[in-house]
Chains A and B, each alone.
Chain A
Amino acid sequence: MTADTVVGTGLVRHGGRKFSDYLIFNTDHKVIGIQYLVLAFVFFLFGGALAGLIRAQLATPDAQLLTGSSYNVTLTLHGTVMIFLWIIPAFVGAANYVVPLMIGANDMAFPRLNAVSFWLLVPGGLLMLVSFAVGGAESGWTAYPPLSVTTPIGQTLWALALQFIGFSSIFGAINFLVTIFNLRAPGMGLTQMPLLAWAVAATSIIILLGTPVLSGALLMLILQRWLGAQFFTPAGGGNPLLWQNLFWFYSHPAVYIMILPGFGIISEVLPIFARKPIFGYKLIAFSSMAIAVFGFLVWAHHMFTSGMDPFLRVPFMVTSMIIAVPTGVKIFSWLATIWAGKLRFTTSMMFGLAFISMFVIGGLSGIFLASVPIDIHVQDTYFVVAHLHYVLFGGSVMSIFAGLYLWFPKITGRMLDERLGRLHFWLTFMGFNLTFFPQHLAGLQGMPRRVYTYPPELWALNLLSSIGAFLMAIAVLPFLYNALRSLVAGKVAGPNPWRAFGLEWTVSSPPPVHNFPTPPVVEGDPYGYGERPLPGTTGVAAPAPGMAGGE
């Protein structure tokens, strides 16, 4: 058996060479990575279409495009789909593809479990679509009772969908942790790992300890809806805060599930395109772990106005502010990394730099919101909507695109077109800021989130938002065209188009089915730009002629 043979026939295979290899139960981590990425991107388009509906409804103060109830369903599915079926699985897909390559492994630790994780996502996604079709999931992605126990059947399907997605996540996390700890190539100690591996390990710990708590809460929600158990409804003596506590015990850490892999991707992108070693490797690695731990101690900052014991507000405010420290450590490390570097402004780098600046805005508004008096003032307004989109779109989604532009040549063997890439970037960046920056102001002026009409005084800000959303939708077109065209007609990439360190760049693009025909050799730290020669070259890894300066 050569390293490049697809093993197995029928519906169970290992390796991807034909199109049909991607449609079945395939145990190759690279195939699974692509399956995740494609499925997630389809849901990104679906969630984006829902966002388009929302912005169309809100483009004028009293639009009749949606009813109150169908508006609720739309915003619920938009939030749930973007979080659970786009951002999280897109990161899982990217990590699935590159982490085993980065650490010199031939696959994940449990290839079959890996495939099971992916195929659990499919019924989860389908149930989510059915819940949209039948309607009824009206209570937002947070699903607070009592609304979430009185809504029609779609809400139950929504909860079941999340159970499937949760199992998928948990099995994936176990797989990543064992892979990262056990399958590293000889010579790669924990502190020689690429930072993405650290980030994925920290993310997996959060998934492992957080997701089951959501599973438990969803189980109680389903029991209440099916059997009439009165867990969450005050009318039956139950406790609505029980849901909120369990939900946020998972869902605050979940924001780190949605950003830590992005931190990891940025820590790869910046050194490659600044041609400098990463600054503060250990600080970045350990701050990921610190975030994984502290992330579990802040959840009640979402509940300052919920009737929780007011005495507990200050401790949760303090922990919420402390957790900004490890994040700040990373930001300064990244700034020091690009400081005085010879930057190459590739599309990947542009998304990476946009990530830093947009995420800082979202992080700062997050510190505002952690402060109890401000939080009480702007709770459930568009200020919160603006904040969370600066983090999740300005942060997570920008980093996903940074990673896609970085690894597309590795995954497909072809380069993306940089001019179309730049068009995609600028449309996205401008559309994003036009959509979400005005929402800070609308929020401060008192516009509540999750309502489908608003007073005419807020019209101008909302119209700006809607125009921005339209730009963001347009931005997807050059990307789609670029990806599809480059797939067949792009410039051939070769193993290492960016002249990067890292084991993933030592194998062909795309890599052979079993990754490393000869066992990889690990030499030195993974970010030795300007310090040691690139593998297979002579001389120090300075910028290649013709690539320096970006243009």
Chain B
Amino acid sequence: MSDTTPHLTMQQSAPSATGLDSAKLGMWLFLATEVMLFSAMIAGFLDMRGRSPADAHHVLNIPVTAVNTFVLICSSLTVALSVAAIEQGDQKRLRNFLLLTLLFGGTFLSVQIYEYNVLIGSGELTPWNSLFGAGFFAVTGLHGFHVFIGLIWCVLTIIWTSQGKFSAQNFMRVEIFGLYWHFVDVVWIILFVLIYLV
């Protein structure tokens, strides 16, 4: 054990056989899994809503959530801008756009927690008092959990940025975080339409 430089990741330097970056391919495969997970949850939600009174979703605060959806879309924009920034090697703009993403994402999650508080606090909608509530909290809760993971990931990416780990040649980790964040946003848009509007 004389070797004191553990390079444990052992990423192979040889070019990949398909020409696709391994980390990126892995992330796309992970997102395929996530699509199936949310499909199962949405199927559960739709089944529960089909067994609930037609006006079950009237207790939801649609205007507030519409604004919140807009906030999340803004965060997708800032993530895209942060990737564009590091493509040009601008670490400072990268950091600023990531901070904005954190702000928008944090706002979204806070508003969701507030919404949960109001609904459960007033007893108007809970996971246990109606089937619509069961489906609603399961699927939006799972999404909120994904936003929470995304926020932690965003903080890590900001730390890596301030450690100078990214450059115009090396920003795969930012791109992969961006892929995840865009995915979480797209899922929310689908959920917003399905749950609040339809």
Contacts and interface: CB of A to CB of B under 8 A. Distances in A.
Interface residues of A, number: 58
A183 B37 contact: no
A228 B39 CA distance: 22
A183 B44 contact: no
Q: Which residue among B3, B33, B127 has the maximum number of chain A CB atoms within 10 Å of its CB?
A: B33
A27 B22 CA distance: 17
A451 B1 CA distance: 57
Nearest to A1: B3
Interface in A150-175: 170, 173-175
A230 B128 contact: yes
B169 interface: no
Contacts of A209: 32-33, 36
A223 B26 contact: no
Contact of B1 (A9, A110, A113, A181): A9
Contact of B138 (A107, A110, A175, A223): A223
Interface in B5-57: 6-10, 12, 14, 16-18, 20, 22-23, 25-26, 29-30, 32-34, 36-41, 43-44, 47-48, 51-52
Contacts of A210: 36
Contacts of A109: 12, 22, 26
Contact of B8 (A111, A219, A238, A239): A111
Nearest to B136: A229
A178 interface: yes
A111 B12 CA distance: 11
Given A106-B10, A216-B40, A181 B25 contact: yes
Given A208-B32, A216-B41, A229-B137, A239 B10 contact: no
B136 to A, nearest CB: 10
Given A109-B26, A184-B17, A212 B40 contact: yes
A5 B3 contact: yes
B134 interface: yes
Given A216-B37, A236-B131, A242-B47, A14 B29 contact: no
B142 interface: yes
Contacts of A8: 6, 8
B128 A7 contact: no
Given A212-B40, A216-B44, A178 B25 contact: yes
A284 interface: no
A178 B44 contact: no
Given A106-B12, A230-B128, A12 B6 contact: yes
Nearest to A207: B33
Interface residues of B, number: 43
Contacts of B142: 219
Contacts, number: 151
Contact of A110 (B22, B37, B47): B22
Given A182-B25, A229-B138, A215 B37 contact: yes
Interface string A206-234: 00111111011101100110011111000
Contact of A181 (B8, B10, B20, B127): B20
B127 A111 contact: no
Interface in A240-278: 242, 245-246, 249
Given A174-B29, A242-B44, A105 B128 contact: no
B1 A230 contact: no
B135 to A, nearest CB: 8
A255 B131 CA distance: 32
A470 B27 CA distance: 47
A245 B51 CA distance: 17
Nearest to B32: A208
A143 interface: no
B131 A230 contact: yes
A181 B43 contact: no
B22 A182 contact: yes
B37 A213 contact: yes
B134 A183 contact: no
B29 A177 contact: yes
A110 B12 CA distance: 10
A112 interface: yes
Contact of A174 (B7, B30, B41, B131): B30
A212 B43 CA distance: 13
B28 to A, nearest CB: 9
A237 interface: yes
B131 A213 contact: no
Given A7-B8, A223-B138, A229-B127, A213 B40 contact: yes
Contacts of A107: 10, 12
Interface string B141-161: 010000000000000000000
Given A181-B25, A208-B29, A228 B128 contact: yes
Nearest to B1: A9
A280 B98 CA distance: 53
12 contacts: A7-B6, A8-B6, A27-B9, A106-B12, A109-B12, A110-B23, A111-B8, A174-B33, A181-B25, A182-B20, A182-B22, A238-B48
Given A216-B38, A219-B41, A220-B138, 13 more contacts: A8-B6, A27-B8, A105-B12, A110-B22, A173-B29, A178-B22, A183-B17, A208-B33, A209-B33, A217-B44, A230-B131, A237-B131, A242-B44
The 4 lowest CB-CB distance pairs between A and B, nearest first, are A216-B40, A229-B134, A182-B16, A212-B37
Interface of B: 1, 3, 6-10, 12, 14, 16-18, 20, 22-23, 25-26, 29-30, 32-34, 36-41, 43-44, 47-48, 51-52, 127-128, 131, 133-135, 137-138, 142
Interface of A: 1, 5-9, 12-14, 27, 105-107, 109-113, 170, 173-175, 177-178, 181-184, 186, 188, 208-213, 215-217, 219-220, 223-224, 227-231, 236-239, 242, 245-246, 249, 514, 519
